[in-house]
Amino acid sequence: MRYGHFHSIETREFLASLLDIYHIFFGSPREAPNRSVQSNTVTQIHVTPKDTNNSQVVNTKDLDKDNSTADSALYDQVILTTGSGALLSDLALPRIHQFTVPPSVTVGVVNLYYSNPNLLPVSGFGYLIPQSIPFEQNPELALGVVFDSDAVQGQDSVPGTKLTVMLGGHWWNSFSSPPSEEQCLDMARSLLKRHLRIQDEPVATNVVVQKHCIPQYPVGYRKNVLAPIHEALLKEYQGRLKVCGSRFHGVGVNDCIRAAADIAETASGPEWREKTGLERFAKAQEWATLQPSKMPEDVRN
Ligand SMILES: Cc1cc2nc3c(=O)[nH]c(=O)nc-3n(C[C@H](O)[C@H](O)[C@H](O)COP(=O)(O)OP(=O)(O)OC[C@H]3O[C@@H](n4cnc5c(N)ncnc54)[C@H](O)[C@@H]3O)c2cc1C
């Protein structure tokens, strides 16, 4: 992992994949006798009534094989980490169905590479476009721009400027279908021209419309959704079903890794029957008030 610093922002860059990091710490997950890792496999949890059985049945089915039958296994605890929140809404949890879990939004991700290494008028990680910006100033419905060649340096064998424009998200919620990849590229280029005065032709581009890829929390999510889900999970499962990941604990990779470490500790701890992964949301949120005059100079600015 490599660290980068900008004014009041820190970036972490993985030189390998997240799975490689797992291998460095724990060796190959496939080799250990008490673990089994199945990829390209769809999982279904069968709800077991709390009074009749103390375990969950988990079925796994190989997506590569059309007529593969599901393998079943019993587990004391299940930790649900499906990013989309799928499974949670399928579970027979009447109290959970009352709460709106926010839908994951669709994002248009446009990567552009320019041969000119000095295209950007400023240096930094990039910028996000707040919702308060009026439509006339954001007709592309963009979310923000990442300056990849600034944020992640030393990866490339040729000089140049790399940018990522992110489009859509909640802005596209009312669309019957997201814009095409060609439209996304046109919108990204129009935005870069207006914001950063970039008129060069990109040497290479890549556009992916990532469908339902990231949850967007509404105001009050913690109190109105997560706290009630915690209570419902606790009542129905007494700690046997826990949840973790971007749907609940923050969408950043840092948030997800931290939440995974916390839930692993909780699940192996003595009080696992009282925990769902969401217990901290059941408490009132504490706020600290900071006096600007007491803040360090560089934070104030
Ligand atoms: C375009 C984009 C840009 C982003 N940029 C950044 C960034 O710069 N920095 C940052 O920190 N974060 C970024 N994020 C956010 C971050 O990548 C995600 O929030 C985070 O990776 C989510 O991790 P997760 O483990 O919760 O979910 P995921 O990584 O989505 O993992 C969930 C897994 O569950 C699997 N799954 C789902 N259903 C089933 C099932 N029934 N059976 C079996 N498996 C199932 C899925 O296939 C998936 O592999 C970005 C996200 C997007 C979409």
Distance separating alpha carbons of residues 154 and 54, to the nearest angstrom: 52
Q: How far is CA 84 from CA 2, 44, 102, 199, in A?
A: 29, 14, 9, 37
Question: 3-state DSSP call for residue 229?
Answer: helix
Kindly report the number of other CB atoms within 10 A of residue 85's CB atom: 21
Pocket residue to mutate for ligand 1, from 251, 254, 255, 257, most atoms within 8 A of Cβ: 251
For the cut 80, the answer to whether the pLDDT of residue 112 exceeds it is yes
- Residue nearest atom 46 of ligand 1, based on CA coordinates: 82
Atom nearest to 255 CA in ligand 1: 11
**Residue among 110, 246, 263 whose CB has most ligand 1 atoms within 8 A, to mutate:** 246
pLDDT 10s digits, 217-245: 888 888 888 898 898 888 888 888 888 98
Asked whether the beta carbons of 70 and 59 are under 8 A apart, the reply is yes
Task: Tell me, using a 6 A CB cutoff, whether residue 78 lines ligand 1.
Answer: no
Instruction: Find how far residue 57's CA is from the centre of its chain.
Output: 27
Is the pLDDT score of 152 beyond 60?
yes
Q: What is the pLDDT of residue 102?
A: 64
Take atom 7 of ligand 1 and give the residue whose Cα is closest. Answer: 252
CA atoms within 13 A on the CB side of 39: 3
**55 pLDDT tier (thresholds 50, 70, 90):** low
Instruction: Give the pLDDT of residue 186.
Output: 98
- Nearest atom, ligand 1, residue 82 CA: 34
Domains of the chain: 38-101+218-282 (3.50.50.60), 104-215 (3.90.660.20)
137 Cα–ligand 1 center, Å:
30
More confident residue, 238 or 110: 110
How far apart, in whole angstroms, are the C-alpha atoms of residue 193 and residue 114?
13
pLDDT, residue 293, reads 80
- Identify the pLDDT of residue 39: 72
CA-CA distance, 98 to 229, in Å (whole number)? 10
Q: What is the DSSP letter of 203?
A: S
Give every CB contact of residue 54 below 8 A, 6+ residues apart in sequence.
48, 76, 240
pLDDT band at 87 (very low <50, low <70, confident <90, very high): low
pLDDT at residue number 75:
79
- For 30, 55, 65, 234, 272, the CA distances from 48, given in Å and listed in that order, are 28, 7, 27, 14, 18
Indicate if the pLDDT at residue 46 is higher than 90: no
Rounded CA-CA distance 137/134 in Å is 6
Please give the distance, rounded to the nearest whole angstrom, from the Cα atom of residue 54 to the centre of ligand 1: 30
Run of H or E residues at 58: strand 56-62
- The answer, yes or no, to whether any atom of ligand 1 lies below 6 A from the CB of 107, is yes
Residue whose token pair is 């375990």 = 55
Question: Model confidence over 174-200: pLDDT tens digits?
Answer: 999 999 999 999 999 999 999 999 999
- B/e letters for 126-162, b = 16+ CB within 10 Å, e = fewer, are beebeeeeeeeebebbbbbbbbbbbbbeeeeeeebbb
Q: Which atom of ligand 1 is nearest to the CA of 215?
A: 19
What was the pLDDT predicted at 71?
Answer: 73
* DSSP conformational letter for 150: H
Cα within 13 Å of Cα(132), Cβ side = 0
Ligand 1 touching residue 60 (CB < 6 A): no
- Range from 24-28, 136-140, 194-198 carrying the lowest mean pLDDT: 24-28
Structure confidence at residue 81 as a pLDDT band (50, 70, 90): confident
**Residue 70 CB–ligand 1 contact under 6 Å:** no
